[in-house]
Structure 1
């Protein structure tokens, strides 16, 4: 699948999603997260990464779909979360340039992010439950913030 088809599939599956494009990358936000200082995407689709080169996103047509999962889900997939602060590539033993393979995110794995370069149809089917989890988690955070705001907390 190409990046446009994946973007359209995500928006179709989660109609409340706001997609923000920045420098050719796409950020998926749940349920109208309006405060730009406090919002966090549940998924991203990136076509370049000036901060890490290990994925080799500079190859023609290569992109990465990233998903923020719970620590429990990350552990079930890959074992313990690696140590790191998201500022450097972490060592997980994965080939971060491999296409169509679910793996930890090269830099954000310590925060529970996973990714796939150019996911195929079968891999995308594996990703849907993970995207469902990430979207539901983001929607809960948005509702909780709205409830706090509405209650004056």
Structure 2
């Protein structure tokens, strides 16, 4: 099955209402922040194209490899993978049976699976279709967090 073009993923995420796109931490981050009411907003997805000091589990330095990260609610994470793994030591990956280097497979985020984030490297068109409802759940979570901060 054909891989999804990274620009297609970026364009889709950036087109959602109230979303700000920020280049930060060596990745493209997508924040819910309508009206720029918070310094950044609440983030719900990122696209990462290279390893970082504390995030090397996916070996993103391979040619053409990128990772979509989605900040799903805990329930959505647990429906896919069961209980969240414990927090890893700084610079380490979460423990579990997952291959964080495998392409086109939904996995816990190698560094942030413990808080419910999921990931996929170079999703195919079919896997992207599975990601869209997860992105919607993550965005709903970000909207709720944003609203709490604004009212706070």
The structure with the larger Rg is 1
**Distance in 1 between residues matched to 2:100 and 2:46, nearest whole Å:** 16
Query: What SS does structure 1 have at the residue aligned with 2:119?
Result: strand
Q: Which of 92, 105, 108 pairs up with 1:104?
A: 108
Query: What SS does structure 1 have at the residue aligned with 2:102?
Result: coil
Asked whether the equivalents of residues 64 and 116 of structure 1 are also in contact (C-alpha less than 8 Å), the reply is: yes
Aligned residues: 146
| Residues 81 and 25 (structure 1), Cα distance of their counterparts in 2 relative to 1, 3 Å cut | same
Q: Which of 94, 100, 105 pairs up with 2:98?
A: 94
4+ residue segments displaced more than 4 Å: none
When the two chains are superposed, the root-mean-square deviation of aligned CA atoms in Å is 1.8
TM-score where L is the length of structure 2: 0.87
TM-score where L is the length of structure 1: 0.87
In the alignment, structure 2 segments of 5+ residues that lack a partner are none
Asked whether the equivalents of residues 26 and 45 of structure 1 are also in contact (C-alpha less than 8 Å), the reply is: yes
Query: What SS does structure 1 have at the residue aligned with 2:51?
Result: coil
CA deviation string 1:32-84 (max 9, x = no partner)? 36433x74410000011222333110011111000011111111100110011
Asked whether the equivalents of residues 33 and 41 of structure 2 are also in contact (C-alpha less than 8 Å), the reply is: no
| Residues 17 and 39 (structure 1), Cα distance of their counterparts in 2 relative to 1, 3 Å cut | closer
